[in-house]
Structure 1
Amino acid sequence: MKGLMALIIISLFSASTLASVNVKVNGQQYRYLNPVRLSLILQTTAKNGDWYWPACAIYSEDTADVEAMRKDVLQSIDAVAVDLSVNDEKAIALNALKRQVENWTLAKRLPVKLNRNAARLDVKQNPMLQEGNYAIYLTGRPDTVWLSGMVKTPGSYEYRNQSTPADYAEGVNLRGYADPDYVYVISPRGEITKQNIAYWGKSYSQVMPGSQIYVPLFTWLLSPDVDDLNEKVASLAVHRVLP
C-alpha cells in the first residue's frame, strides 16, 4: 500500500512538473502549474517600470526551430560562395556575414506585441501560455540601433532621432558588395520592411529606437540565390536576442 501511495505521489509530482509553465522575466524565474494568460504574468511583473513596449518581447526557449533557420542561412551562404576563390571580395563579404550569423544569440520570438494594458483589454494580445519555457524581456526606451550585414563594423550605433534608414547606412563604413539601393529594417516589434536608401527613391520613414538594420549583399547578375539569402537573414534577425 505504501509503495502504491509513493507511486501515486511521484506520478502527480511528475505530471505537475511536465505541465508547468516556466517564465523568466528579465532573469527572474516564475513557475505556473497550469497554462497561464500573458496578462496575469505582466500584471505581476510589469506593473512597475517605465517600459518601452515596442521593444519588449517574449520568446520560447525551445530554440530548435530558430537553430534550424540559422543552419539554413549558413548553408545558403556556403552555397552562394561555393564557386568563389577564398580571396574573392564577394567571398570575403560572405564569410564576414557568416561569422555574424554564427555569433547571434537566438531564441524563438513569439508573434505577440507585449503591452500590459493591451493584454488586459484585447484577447488577441493576451495568449494562453502552454506548457514550456519562456523568456520575457522588458526594457526602457533603447538608445541604440543595430546594424548588420555588409557593414565593416557591425553592432550597436547611437540612435538618432528622426533619422532614416539611409542616414544610418550613410553614416557607417559599408563593404564593397553592400546593396546600394535597399536595406532591411527589423523594427523592435519584429516587423520586417525593405526600405529604399537610393537617392532616386529614398524612403523617409524614421527608424524606431531599438531597430535592426540589415544591409544586404548586393545581388550580382540578378542572382535569385542572393535575394533568397538576404530574405532568410532578415527573417532570422527577428529572433535575435539583443543585449
Structure 2
Amino acid sequence: MRISPQSQAVYKLLLNARNQMNAKQMAQKLDISSATLYRLTDPLLEMGLIRKHTTYPYKFSAKPTDEGLSLFLLNQNEWFMNQFGSHHNNKNAKKESTSDSKEVRISFIQSRGKLMSLSADEISKAAKSIDLLRSGHELTADVMASLTDAKIRGVPTRMLIQDYSNDNAGQVSNWQKNGIFVKKTPLRHVRLMIYDASTVYFMSYKNADSEKDLGMKIKYPPLAVIFSQLFNEWWQKAEKV
C-alpha cells in the first residue's frame, strides 16, 4: 500500500507533536481544509500508523516509528503478495526451463528468533557474499558458527551496525577478529540481510518486543540487486569501528 506525500505529512506532523491533535489544529498546520485532512488520515488509520481517539472533537496521535514500521511491513507484505504472489503459487505450472531469476519466492517471518534461525541456514549456503544490516547485539552461536565457516570457504561478510556503543564494542571487536568486516551506520529502522545478491531478508527493527517484529524473505535476484546497491551506498558512507 502506498502512502501519498500528503498523508506522509500528516503522519510526520503527529510524530513531532507533543500531544494529541484535532483535525482543525492539523489542518491549520498543513494549510488544508478539515475535510481534506480527514481524507488524508484514512490510509494512516487503515494501516494502523495513527490512532483516532473516540471523544468528539476527534483527536489523533501517531504510533511510535518502530511499531509503525512493523505495521507498514505487514501491509507491504500483503500488497506484494497480491501483486506477485501468483508467481509463487503457480510455480509448479511453469515450464522446467523457467529460471530462478524470473520466479518470485516469498515467505514471511514473525519474530527475530525465527530470523536468526533462518540466517544460520542462509549463511551456510552462501557462496559469494553476505551483507548484514543489524543492531549490533549478540549473535546466536549457530549464526556465529556459520559466519566462521563462511570465512573458511572464502565468503566475505560485511556488517553494518546501527546501535554501536561502549556496551557492544567488545563484542564487535571479537567479530572483527573472526574475519567479519564491520562499520557503524546511522539508524535505518530496519534489519536487512542479503545473501549472494540474490536472496533478501528484511524485518522491522527495535520493536519493544522483538518477538512481535515482522519481516519477509524474498528470493528474487532483480530485487536483491537493488538492495545490494543500497547496501553498498550505506557501506561507503559508514564509519570505521
Task: Calculate the TM-score normalised by the size of structure 1.
Answer: 0.28
Task: Calculate the TM-score normalised by the size of structure 2.
Answer: 0.28
Which is bigger in relative contact order (C-alpha 8 A, separation at least 6)? Answer: 1
